[in-house]
Amino acid sequence: MSLPPDPLMQAFLARARAAGTLDTDPDSLERARAAAESLRRWQAAPEAVDAVETLAIPTADGATLTARLYRPANSGAGPLPLAVFAHGGGWTRGTLDLYDAPARALANAGRCLLLVPAYRLAPEHRFPTPLLDIVAAAEWASAHADALGADPARLALAGDSAGGNLAAAACLWLRDHSGPAIRRQLLIYPATDCRFDTESYARYADGYLLTRDAMRACWRMYLPDDDSAASPYASPLRGKLRGLPAAAIIVAGLDPLRDDGLNYAAALAAAGVPAETILLPDLPHASLHLDGAVPAARAVIDHAGQALRQALTLSDQEPS
């Protein structure tokens, strides 16, 4: 087993293994959802922001999504860039409360508005419903930018883990369906292909919070049938990537999904899409939630915030 050099992370992973990983029983949805919520005990204290607003977002099929809009601290006057953030959780779990502390930190670090929709979860709502919910949130945010205090020319899509999958797939969908322009995609240890034969899936199959068996179970619950796995809207790595927004991809080194992120960055670059890879070799999956237990995990927020700031600042825009 590969051990991180950080003794605090070593101790944390040892405690997590002794207690059972987050996915000890991946086929029990109730237990998996409860385990996901338990991540909150490892998060840093919630940061102060200027405002948190609860919003309602309509979808094309008549549903209404609850969402939270975070306005960063000391935001001042004038329109701000906006990132729509799809939370992780294997498409099957995750709540707005679980992501409150990370959302606050990311809004502050990115100096942007952060919109976090509570998209509908599998298996109650299988592919493509969660994806189309994120698409609806992006379209709604663009259409209501003025009311939100946002600049529609500085819109990003972001997400972690399964949320990174949804953000990447939403960029594909919006490109293919003439949706609003996305300035940047920020993908944090994303799942990009429904395959389990990569080197990182073999090396980090167990003992690093996320397991290979858990990912198999999540994909089974997300996809309605085997044929759906081949859709680029489910497995973005299989898509035609030319013309997508520039990407920043944060990859955790001790993660079954490490190669999903690295392979997607390479495929984007091969398609002519600017893609920055940020490899954090000594961090496991779910490190977005671990900054209260292991200070080194704060690097996820720091790098994500820097990527958003660099992509969404006014100075980076083309002259009008």
The pLDDT, as a whole number, for residue 317 is: 42
Mean pLDDT of 266-279: 99
Query: Is the predicted pLDDT of residue 315 greater than 60, yes or no?
Result: no
Q: Taking the domains of the chain in order of start, what are their residue ranges?
A: 7-314
The Cα–Cα gap between 38 and 160 comes to 17
Q: How confident is the model at residue 164 (pLDDT cuts 50, 70, 90)?
A: very high
Asked if 49 contacts 70 with a C-beta cutoff of 8 angstroms, the reply is yes
Q: Which of 116-120, 237-241, 308-312 is predicted least confidently? A: 308-312
The Cα–Cα gap between 293 and 289 comes to 9
Instruction: Characterise 26 by phi-psi region: left (phi > 0), alpha (psi -120 to 50), beta (else).
Output: alpha
Mean pLDDT of 156-163: 99
Reading the block at residue 32, the tokens are: 């998996």
Cβ-based neighbours of 235, under 8 Å, separated by 6 or more: 192, 193, 194, 195, 229
Q: How confident is the model at residue 318 (pLDDT cuts 50, 70, 90)?
A: very low
Task: Please identify every residue annotated as catalytic.
Answer: 161
The pLDDT, as a whole number, for residue 316 is: 42
- Burial bucket for residue 149 (CB in 10 Å: 0-12, 13-18, 19+): middle
Q: Which fold has domain 7-314?
A: Rossmann fold (3.40.50)
pLDDT tens per residue, range 187-202: 999 999 999 999 999 9
